[in-house]
Structure 1
């Protein structure tokens, strides 16, 4: 069986586990090598619980225990490592592995001790490596081992108390404390019943400590992470939501029906097992470079009223089942993120599909990831492809529910954060392009009379423009009803008015056109653009001639992207010579480009990106043009303009990162050279070695100076961008008073400010102190205008 078939077999749970065990235990076979034995055992452990076939899972567990017990002496270490790896990476089968450990511990006490020691050691290492997702799975696994009589309940309580104590440390960021509280809360559904029955007082103390922590923690960060800016729709922060779900579970005596507790079937065997105590876990101390998971908001789109009355009921938002379903579907997506088809099949084969309205919970999980801020866990194109695959596999249910979801999102679009609105536009236009652009546009009639800054109008207009990128102009006109002319995109042709003989620059344009047809060289073109009578103080090049030259170049190259790239490459020297160290000429270039391609925003974005790569345009000039140009002012409601801003800032950050890596490489080369110095002494004289060292030092100093200047420039540009937002918001507040905060303009600009903070979080974080001095200490700025900075700072506070 090839590897792809094996992956599919693993994904759909079709491994005939019972047959494998029966054959391997009954059939006499030749002695196998240790490596072959290890591979066979690892495979059996990994695939336990996947479509048991003719025999029950309980029977398969017993057979596997018998097999493993006989091999502990040979490959006990490998067995322990495999079980822990499975507990880390396959949390949906966690209770199977805890039961397996319990049964092995009942038969071999030493094995139980070894796996407990290894478990705590691995957890310590994982925490030090900041792999928090794996760590929380191991915390839950440790708690479940108490249910299987591997660990004493007392030591598990002390373990949880230790985690809660770490959350109470002073002088550490809230995100660190949040993670430890989350780890405790997340494990309680597994161990809550045992604690309630046997350690009631300790459980109450744990819950009391969590309650006290939740009461005092800051909530400033929540608003920047919310999908919707209003209070109409439920948007709880993840830790607050889980806390409420645990409180509701506690009120129900910790009784839930979702977790498959495999150990119950073996209660008689496990009850007589000797138990172990957990070694002490020392959470790694916080350091300035420590990195913790960012908080997030729990996304809710559907409630029980949206689901069919004759089907399964959607669990309530504060039921623990809703949390467990969300987590399990998220695990499926994470495990199958490399293959949309396997992922779709695994979601449709969800173990609890009969007890939940599957299309609704799956779509809510997928959209929660699409709209996760600051960024989605997987590339957003993956989610679009996954939704198409789900519609293909279940054409009678998923397309209808997906249309219902799109309608709900449209209805709530007026309160959607601009960054999330952009993601909705990108997904919806991509989805329509795969379904022949069929959509009931009449259902969106209310956007036709809306303001240009109303999110519903922006959504509809941007969706149609993005659809045009996947198709062609005439096709979009076909799908759009006659009544929706206001949404109709402009024809995406190049604008070139100088063909008209009455145009004042007609003769000059014809002259440049002739030069291009003669294939004049880039060097000669520089001379054509140079001012004839150059004075010492005057400009070297004429801005009008340059604008005409560039417009003609764009017109002649307008046939395709490749024609544009070829023209820009051919006249790279010309462009570089004219605009080098001249922000005003770069502004002329941008204005000319906009004038020619304003009806084709895709072409605009691609050419500007190319000009940035060719270092013809500077990022700070693009920023100034976006905020100060009259041309850009009329485009502020358009998605492409903010896409251009963030692309430019991102390109600058990547350039800084590359130069920083170059410096690190030079430092490593210098270190390697120093190590080899003694070896080369015999072959080279001191002068030669000193010259080589001086050459590396010189290159390193040059590169370090370049990086320092780039970082300073990057900092100045980001500060300038954020200051422009804050100044604009302050001015509007002074003009319109308190009512300004509720205006469409204010919420839109504030949303775009959040967009910049979220899109460049790591970069802005590096100089947040300077930003604080620039914004917070500036008495001219209204405190409400810089509220976004407080939200941003609280993300990792």
Structure 2
């Protein structure tokens, strides 16, 4: 009798699984040295003070002791876990002292050996200009100076090497800011012992930072998150600039002879007796210069410069009072903010771990800094002037980093994700802090909150709501429906709901709103779900049959040439028709073709891409003005018609307008300059798309289109530049190899170098250079057209476009004070000014490359003008391009 055995071979699988398990065990095997290294890095996870002597003993008893392995563990811990730096300083100080059972020691102490090897890693960070790691190592050295392991003279020399950067000719703000913070924070921590050594040298460091900060006031005017257009004051309410807070905290410490350092920074080593051995002298250093890559391709003036991201003064918004969250202008407040921002920056690779460490941050601060957690076993005594709310402090700082202008250090979704993870970890405490933050930010809308900050706020609000069931108390904002339709609060509601709909669907979001906001007269949410609007689907449309014939060709996957032929026939028919209703047959044919093609691709993104790729010859023919005139750079009028038809088809879904425009640029149907021109001129014909119906102005929707076009133009230039760099290197390598081979075969010593043929670029490099020149012209054209568009919107003089009559009113002192009575056109003008500021500061590196040409073309007509609008236009431009 036979039996079926469907699971035959199970034993083999078990053996295979066991072998796989053994392989995994072998993969994660740690040597004793690795385990010691891991113990150093994980030091303090339970109770840092109790673990300190145990870890010291473990290190001393380990054999054979490899100093580079220990110093590497210290470097990793210091640069990736800065909240533990004081305790690593205490550990190193203990390792520096003589063991109790040893009266003398031959050679340097273990702590000094580790520190000497640690310095090599610091020098490597400095050589690479790894500013964050460099700054955190300086924290470590400063703590060790207070612990009397490092000499004060060498620590002074280290800090002064960074203040020397501030005196460099033409130093960039980003480099100066980072160097100043390195010196200032090192002085904050090491101040108690450094000032005892030399009060004069302490003052020199502070004065050097102050002198640089006083010279950098103009950029601050352009990056403040709360805007007063008419005012040149750089002080911004409810926001703190980084260098300003550094200096205020530093001067407060200096005035108290750094007595407050002990209440601001943990110093667990202060109870130790003076060391038995001599202190360590840090080697002298020189901060290396910035690396400037020269390729001779960047500017129209012949100067060699590489486009580099501009670094601006950093303003952080304050959302709560000083009794709820720490004031960063105080030493303790600055220490808390710096610690939280370091965690946020370092753990960008893991938002969940970042959220966990932020919630646990209070364990690394001085007891009494934050309110104790409910149900805690140990309740420290509140410290006067402290006792802050941890969750509110965390949310305030995360949002502060997220809303830095002109852009945050990391992607927006990272900051949003961290707040989401914080809410999941502790919903009962973080949730209320988030709610209060939303209400606080909302209250500043209409009081000068920058338009870019408001846009990011709406984005964060929508994504956060999507993670928590879209639950919000919308009824709180019902009274604001009485404000002007373009008031920033009402604009925020519309944008936030538009973002929410993108993350969900229309009907669900509609049900979360009160009746007053659902009503059409509330102008808060659309009456119908976002979707396509194929105007030729209407039976009453006189051109419905013509559009259906084109649509049927697309549905039948007809060849592009057949569709082109059919469109030519339709055009001839329309031009010879007797109804007299056709004004522009070319524009009508383009509209029918583009809308029909988009109708085919409206089901999904894949349908859209397939439709565009299949009919690229048709689109290029239309963009050139027709099949008979194909070729060249295209017909500007035809390209504008393509964009208008696309925007009209998706007028109920503005997100899709931006997507289609991006794809048209990607496939080079239209150029970025065409999109810029359409945004400032032709889009006025599509009233449903724009929140502005009065004088020409820009809302967040138009800015998104402009930004997409400019980013496309700039991105193409950067890609072309990298390609040229690669091809040049290949050419040089090829020539060098050929020359080396030729020399090895050459036996005639009389051959001279001047007889060699001149180097000739490869065909690939020649083609790449031509493409780069073309793309550079396109980039310059897009920037120039954008600047002209803004000037035309805001300029007081008559231009090709109708000037905005409200542009002057909203930037005056009297006009701002009367903003409660502003109508929609005045709020539109104010928002347009805001987007002009964002354009100048965001694209400053590119604008500087063409500053002379662009200024001459756009601002020459204002020469000698004293009009406030003209003055503000030029001032903003001059600050962004480094003229002021």
Is 1:703 the equivalent of 2:768?
A: yes
The Cα shift of 1:288 comes to 5.2
Cα offset, 1:457, TM superposition: 1.2
3-state DSSP class of the match of 2:288?
coil
Q: Does 2:876 align with 1:783?
A: no
Q: Which residue of 1 aligns with 2:786?
A: 721
- Inter-CA distance 341–285: structure 2 relative to 1 (3 Å threshold): closer
| C-alpha contact 2:165 2:171 (8 A) present in aligned 1 | no
Looking at secondary structure, tell me which structure has more helix per residue.
1
Post-superposition offset of 1:361? 0.6
Unmatched 5+ stretches in structure 1: 1-33, 308-313, 535-539, 685-692
Change (3 A) 1:628 1:95: same
Q: Which deviates more, 470-479 or 581-590?
A: 470-479
**What does residue 417 of structure 1 align with?**
450
**Alpha-carbon shift at residue 517 of structure 1 (Å):** 4.2
Shift of 1:765: 4.3
**What residue in structure 1 maps to residue 439 of structure 2?**
407
Q: Is the 8 A contact 2:463 2:500 kept in 1?
A: yes
Structure 2 residue corresponding to 1:739, chosen from 809, 818, 823: 809
User: In terms of mean alpha carbon deviation, does 761-770 or 216-225 score higher?
Assistant: 761-770
2:560 pairs with one of 522, 546, 555: 522
**Structure 1: distance between partners of 2:763 and 2:740:** 23
Q: Partner of 2:537 in structure 1? A: 499
Cα distance change, pair 209–172 in 1 and its aligned pair in 2 (3 A): closer
8 Å CA contact 2:804, 2:829 repeated in 1: no
Whether the aligned pair in 2 keeps the contact of 1:117 and 1:279 (CA below 8 Å) is no
Give how far 1:407 is off.
0.7
**How many angstroms apart in 1 are the aligned matches of 2:844 and 2:54?**
49
Q: 1:385 and 1:488 mapped to 2: Cα distance?
A: 26
Q: How many residues are matched?
A: 737
1:162-193 CA-partner distances (Å, limit 9, x unpaired): 43344234443444433333222112221111
1:333 aligned residue: 344
Aligned to 1:570: 614
Q: 1:177 to 1:546 in 2, by over 3 A?
A: closer
Alignment partner, residue 26 of structure 1: none
Q: 1:291 to 1:506 in 2, by over 3 A?
A: closer
Counterpart in 2 of 1:150?
149
Mapped pair 1:627 → 2:697:
no
1:744 CA drift (Å): 2.6
Kept in 1, the 8 Å contact 2:662–2:709? The answer is: yes
Distance 1:287 1:694, change over 3 A: closer
| Structure 1 stretches of 4+ moved >6 Å | 531-534, 678-684, 693-696
Other-structure match for 1:397:
429
Equivalent residue of 1:530, what SS? helix
Q: Does 1:650 align with 2:711?
A: yes
The corresponding residue for 1:764 is: 847
CA contact (8 A) 1:464 1:489 kept: no
User: Aligned to 1:221, what secondary structure does the other structure show?
Assistant: helix
Comparing 294-303 with 730-739, greater Cα deviation is found at: 730-739
In the TM superposition, what is the alpha-carbon distance from 1:205 to its structure 2 partner? 4.2
Counterpart CA distance in 2 for 1:330 and 1:242 is 14
Corresponding residue for 2:729?
668
Contact 1:458 1:638 in 2 (8 A): no
Alpha-carbon contact 1:237-1:297 (below 8 Å) kept: yes
Q: Match for residue 300 of structure 2? A: none
User: For 1:646-673, what per-residue CA distance to the aligned partner results, in whole angstroms no more than 9, with x for missing partners?
Assistant: 1122122222222222222222322332
SS in 2 for 1:468: helix
Deviation at 1:213, TM superposition (A): 4.4
- Contact 1:418 1:752 (8 Å CA) reproduced: yes
DSSP 3-state at the match of 2:779: helix
Distance 1:38 1:767 in 2: 57
1:336 match: secondary structure: helix
Could you say what the CA RMSD is over the residues aligned between the two structures, in angstroms? 3.3
**Cα distance change, pair 127–777 in 1 and its aligned pair in 2 (3 A):** farther
After superposition, what is the alpha-carbon deviation per residue over 1:471-497, rounded to whole angstroms, capped at 9, x for unaligned?
Answer: 222223222222123212242232233
Q: Tell me the distance in 1 between the aligned counterparts of 2:209 and 2:787.
A: 37
Question: Is the 2:337–2:397 Cα contact (8 Å) retained in structure 1?
Answer: yes
Query: Please, which of 641, 663, 666 is the counterpart of residue 610 of structure 1?
Result: 663
Distance 1:632 1:495 in 2: 13
CA pair 180-116 structure 1, distance change in 2 beyond 3 A? same
Residues 1:751 and 2:834 are matched in the alignment? yes
Q: Match for residue 508 of structure 1?
A: 546
- For residues 767 and 534 of structure 2, the distance between their equivalents in structure 1, rounded to whole angstroms, comes to 45
Say yes or no: does 1:677 pair with 2:738.
Answer: yes
Q: Which moved more, 1:554-563 or 1:105-114?
A: 105-114
The answer (yes or no) to whether the contact 1:130–1:292 under 8 Å persists in 2 is: no
Change (3 A) 1:135 1:628: same
Instruction: Report what 2:36 is aligned to.
Output: 41
Mapped pair 1:275 → 2:266 = no
- State the match for 1:537 in structure 2: none
**Could you tell me how far 1:761 is from its partner in structure 2?**
4.4
The structure-2 alpha-carbon separation of the partners of 1:142 and 1:769, relative to structure 1 and needing over 3 Å to count, comes to farther
Given that 1:541 and 1:578 are in contact with CA atoms closer than 8 Å, whether structure 2 keeps it comes out as: no
Describe the shift of the 1:52–1:476 C-alpha distance in structure 2 as closer, same or farther (beyond 3 A).
closer
Does the CA-based 8 Å contact 2:672-2:778 persist in structure 1? Answer: no
Instruction: Report the CA distance between 1:330 and its aligned residue.
Output: 1.8
Q: Which of 217, 224, 227 pairs up with 1:226?
A: 224
- 8 Å Cα contact 2:158-2:284 kept in structure 1: yes
Kindly indicate whether residue 504 of structure 2 is the aligned counterpart of residue 451 of structure 1. no
| Cα distance between partner residues in 1 of 2:206 and 2:453 | 35
Q: 1:77 aligns with which of 68, 78, 84?
A: 68
Alpha-carbon spacing, 1:163–1:618, altered in 2? closer, same or farther (3 Å) = closer
Displacement after TM superposition at 1:728 (Å): 2.2
Query: Deviation digits for residues 33-77 of structure 1, max 9, x if unmatched?
Result: x99354233223222222248x81332243145236x645xx223
Contact 1:529 1:541 in 2 (8 A): no
C-alpha separation in 1, matches of 2:617 and 2:794: 41
**Structure 1 residue 368: deviation in Å?**
1.0
1:772 CA drift (Å) = 4.7
